[in-house]
Structure 1
Amino acid sequence: MSRKKMTLKYKKERSVLSDVLPYEVPITFTNWHFYNFLLRHKIKYHGGKIEWLAGDAVVYCIICLLFGIPKSPKPNIETKTLFDKERGFNQLPVNKWGAIPFYYKISHKQNEYRELAIPHPINQLQVIEFYDRYKELILYYCSISSFSIRHPKKVSKYIFYKDSTHYENLSDDSSPREESGKEYENLRSFFVYKDYSNVYKFYESDKYHWCEKKYNKLLKLDISKCFDSIYTHSLAWALLNKESVKNSIHESKETFAGHFDKLMQQINYNETNGIIIGPEFSGLSI
């Protein structure tokens, strides 16, 4: 079979297709149209503002509605406050107080439900920029612990070679997350995960079966209401040291840890206690 190089033309905005939504959403719910809308109008979040390709008043109204921005009674998108003529982009400031995610419940156990959340569109836009700016640091910090068996290892490939090796390594599972050492026909998660995309795969692995033979006892621990109990400031404490952060609060806010802390707050309506459950990026906090 001839070796054929294939390029997958997905942009940084692809995180809204994989990492900002819970896996358990109705089959009729999709972010594809949102993704295409972002690309078509080159919508970005930067420096506390939304900017988009200069267009007509209809696009302006849709953006105000979609991202929760108060609309002027008489919008004039050609004014200096909104329009950058040199770059050809409109700009609008974003509400700094955060946004309320959409909550819904799914069946969890018998007679029990789990509450999941879909971030507000403005927060999804912020996640895009956060991933693009800090993807290398995310990979670094997630690789520090030698105990983790599931963490981001690299950014998903944009290119693969369609040859015999590709078909030998082609994944046959339906997991929304990519695993290290496997190849895929299309991009799934923003990151490739090591070693297992989900914990249940560990219990089915040869490594676990080998441990069963070697050890006589197994201890399992489960943190009750884990995501609900996370204090977002502790993210910076874990990465930079609690004492250092408290002694340099202003400076710490401008670091990766400080921006991560602020993002998780804004996604959860500026709450510092607890993070939303469901989206893949929430798992990076733990």
Structure 2
Amino acid sequence: MTFHQELRHKYGSQVHIIDSPFLSGLLARLCSADCFQPEINRIVEVLYTHLIAVIMNNEFTLENFIQPTRMSEAHPDKLLQGVRLSAEQKAVSVNLARAGTYPSHICYNALHFSLKPQNVRQDHIFAARVTNNKDKVTGAEFGGMKIGGDVKDAHVIFPDPMGATGNTMITAVDHYKTHIEGPAKKFIALNLIVTPEYLKNVLSAHPDVVIYALRLDRGLSSTAVLEAIPGEYWDQERGLNDKQYIVPGGGGFGEIMNNSFV
């Protein structure tokens, strides 16, 4: 069941690129050079509040319910009926510091509105790009982590704004699969922007990962490729420059969100 519009593409059923003019406009504002704190975090909060709602509606188990309301005393035979998320589910939001710190906190808070508090957890991983002498990303390095338990039957969510190369996401999912007791019910990447390179790398390493994003950036592709349906010429699509930053992108969100340009 889908509750929103998505961009048409040929990347496979694991990829969901939300087609929302409201969210796209906010994300464009976030990426502009004259967007500073505190506006940045206010926009990020709106974007991730919407994104976490989308994945909860689409990826979590739903249940029918019947309940009384404040009007039931006057009309006891007229009860409220509807569909909601099952509160018994488990979820883990993973903070991939630095860019993922605030997004993960937003998602962690939102999950409590529908799930039992004891079923919701936030983990923390300090991740950094590893580059060679040509500034090319060769992998991801974890400087430390705090993981609060197993992920058996849990939705494990990675709210990481920039899906550039995919190295951090791949390494994080690797760690949970090989070092943390499971298996998880689902691994879900929750990105603001993704590149074709990111999609290919993550899905090649972990075909079971579900990816949600608000925007696909492939600005360094040829005109002919850009005019085609995204994913039709996947091998020819390019969204990363030589330093493997996203184009058109929005700069390094980790630095921008934290006002820490080192």
Normalising by the smaller structure, the TM-score range is: under 0.3
Higher helix share: 1
Radius of gyration: which is bigger?
A: 1
TM-score normalised by structure 1 residue count? 0.24
TM-score normalised by structure 2 residue count? 0.25
Considering Cα pairs closer than 8 Å and 6+ residues apart, tell me whether 1 or 2 has the greater RCO: 1
